[in-house]
Structure 1
Amino acid sequence: MVLLVLKFFCTTTAVTFNITNRCSYTVWPAAVLLDGNELLEGGGGGMRLDPGKTWTLNMADDTSSGHIWARTGCSFDSKGNGSCQTGDCGGLLACKTSGELPLTIADFALNQHGSNTFFEISLRDGFNVPMEFLPMPVKGQGLGCSKGPRCVADITSQCPSKLKAPGGCRSPCRVFNDESMHCCLGPRCEPTKYSTFFVRMCPQALSFSNHAPKETDFSCPTGVNYQVVFCPPINLASSPAPSPPNSTAIGPSSTGPPSKKVDTVVSIAIVGSVVSFILTAAFILFVVHRRLTRRCHEMEEEEAEFGKLQGTPMRFTFQQLDVATEQFKDKLGEGGFGSVYKGRLGEERIAVKRLDQAGQGKSEFLAEVQTIGSIHHINLVRLFGFCAEKSHRLLVYEYMPKGSLDKWIYCQHNNTAPPLQWRVRCRIITNIAKGLSYLHEDCMKRIAHLDVKPQNILIDHDFNAKISDFGLCKLIDRDMSQVVTRMRGTPGYLAPEWLTSHITEKADVYSFGVVVMEIVSGRKNLDTSRSEESIHLITLLEEKVKNGHLVDLIDKNSNDMQAHEQDVIQMMKLAMWCLQIDCKRRPKMSEVVKVLEGTMDAESKIDLNFVVTNQANFGVAANVTSSAAPLASHLSGPR
């Protein structure tokens, strides 16, 4: 970590900059001092500033000028060298220049013309974070200066597509190669409409469209301190204005005794406050009692509802499971709604999933009990029983000693498991396919799992795979072509048709294709630790297959995978068949099983586009292909 070092000149006064991060994410602010156009020796950056933290920066008040800005999206390589999406100073975390684009800059020039400091927020180089740059009031003294500029709008979220850049919104003058100080703004100039966008969003900030100093420059006397806030609140709490000299105040007169009218007003106010408090307390008690009563009735109805379930597995008491898990001592993992604990019933080892709150996940709980409790397949995790007693909701599964698949296929620094051999990966893929084929085609009703992902695939001691977590599943009647439902599942594994909410079991086929690609490549579909162009595996697959470089995607951590190069590429082609955007062009899972067993060939004429990118037609497409970390489903978690 390189801390900012600023050069001091011999002086008796200093100016303080309090730099605060109000963003929901960490920023890495930098500051450089300029003497004319030359960078002063020792300028730099690299200060980590977590949300809510403040960095106090002191400098001599006769410094000529300088810049302060935030960097975002910073990451570090294996040697500890850091770089950031914005203001990355040529790839270095420590700055020796005034930063790369785009970035929101706080400009200042101290002790100019012997008496004043001039300061501004500049958007001439683009925008990355909202900012305010205000003088700090001194108690008991007036500032004698203008208040200061604020740019509180999040321009990045509304940035025009032509100006979009990683971590920010670029200046229109830079985009259209007009490097002049005054950007081309005539009626025939293309940057015009984009430049006015910056002015409309942040009218107090300096941009090429409003370069007039009187509108964007602010000044204060020498010696005033300043605050720079990243992501400031939109509405500042203003201090109460002082009363006018001739205003009338309620209270003792300066020339006579207290007024009786004042006493009456105070008495009425006190009585009114007491009555109001009593009424409010009574209302709150009434609401709480009503909710508790309603919840008791709901729990009684739920218990009766569970008692009417047909063909459900064994029902346990909470006391039985409390003893079986030794008071829930050994936690195996946790998911969206609950935690999973290791236990034992007689000679049988079990995994017990305990929901944290009774009111959450009732429909998911019922779905899992009814669905997995009434079906049996070697590649589906077996449900021994459940508990629905008062506020307790628990599910009892067979114990899978090697945990979930994600622990075995992602090659990360915190994963010490050796890379799986090619034959083991093939077996796991075949097991998953057979489990899904049973759900889709061999049950009385088609069952769409709707949350197929490595975290929901469990591994036994012989590396056989079983599908688990049926909390989001949907039953589909055999005579129905599709089911309309709310979006559910995990970003990164969702089929494109989720954007229209017309869902069939083919959504599982797409998710299966994603999982296959993760297994053969040894990485997550969405991995924000990678470079911008490699974050999304399926988008990268589109590029590699079109360029004939599929071999680049084979897990490089396994020599055995490299030795089976041609077989792995054939497996990728099977995955691509499953990843067709048009769900009708995807295979049935029974066809996938036949391909894996060698009794059928995969379709060769496939569309090589696997990700929906037209956001005009699919308003939430960004949720499917975003670089955000995958969210756990309601009942997901290692067993």
Structure 2
Amino acid sequence: MQLITTRPIPFFSLFIAISFLFSFSLSYSNTFTIINNCPHTIWPGTLAGSGTPQLPTTGLQLDSGQSIRIPSVPGWSGRIWARTGCSFDESGIGKCQTGDCGGRLQCDGNGATPPASLFEITLGKGTDKDFYDVSLVDGYNLPLIASPHGAHGVCNVTGCALDINTGCPKELQVVGGEGGDGGGVVACKSACEAFGLDQYCCSGEFANPTTCRPSFYSTIFKRACPRAYSYAYDDGTSTFTCKAYEYSLVFCPKVNGIRKPDSTLSPPTIQEPPPTPIFQEPPPTPTYQEAPATPTFQEPPPTPAFQEPPATPTFQEPPPTPTFQEPPPTPVFQEPPPTPASQEPPPTIPFAPRGEEYLANVSSSSMLLPVPTLFILLILNVISSAYLANQEP
């Protein structure tokens, strides 16, 4: 019978094998480094997903310029966010203006009260990749950039570096009060939280990517932060994969670089598109209504063409004044025939007694006759006298 003998494994070889396995496991361990670049204190909070353990801390205070490293385990999934305007007593009981988690410093399994900017991640096990995103689906309270440091290759930086609070529509604004920022806008709600409609919450008949589409309000967030989730089914441009050993979460990052106090990690370069102006719309009715169209400009009615005044009637000369008719000539005054001067008795005609008597009668009667008759009679008298004279012996 042949004996089977075993050769002892050299201690050195065993040491190498154990070191390899140890280093392999360490290379895929994950750490979250949270950095506060804000000019004020923040209170980060963490929440583990279903079936994964909570992180070593679920809430803490982080002053401006401070950072903290929180270890995690492969396969961990959950959320990390920052609270603002918090006040807690010695027992850790209090409240926050934004991102509150049950009124306690340690969230202990409570999620963030909207609105809050969220970092969401599921870490892969072994060689499986991580899935991560920055979500504004529950609203926005602080700028947040997530920068993974990959074990293999380059990973994508994501998040939202712009201050959306400064351009938040009035109907979505959360205004700070006592203990806040002096009455300024401290957060910007999502349309789902502000109005509670299925079309904004992607619920009810809108609970699928076909019927739930980007709204006017989600578009505001998307334009400001193209790589962040803007509504529930915004997966195509907002979810990233990587195999990283560390994720740096920077609140209030600088646009052209990130200052990381107490950290040796080089700052990621963030190429954000130029900000799109955020327009403020009037408060919407349950269904969004377009603003009434501006009436088109109407030309004023054309000025009526100048009309000449009616022609002045041509001057009609007055009818000619009738020519002056001289009055009929005043009949020439006819002086009455001159009273015959006393005539000397005609000379006595001899041998004509009958004639003298006749002429005397004629003369006396001719005084009573008109001038022509008298003239004729005178002529006859002369002729008669001449005749008688010629008859004398």
Q: If the length of structure 2 is used for normalisation, what is the TM-score?
A: 0.50
Structure number with the bigger relative contact order (C-alpha 8 A, sep ≥ 6) is 2
More helix by share: 1
Q: If the length of structure 1 is used for normalisation, what is the TM-score?
A: 0.32
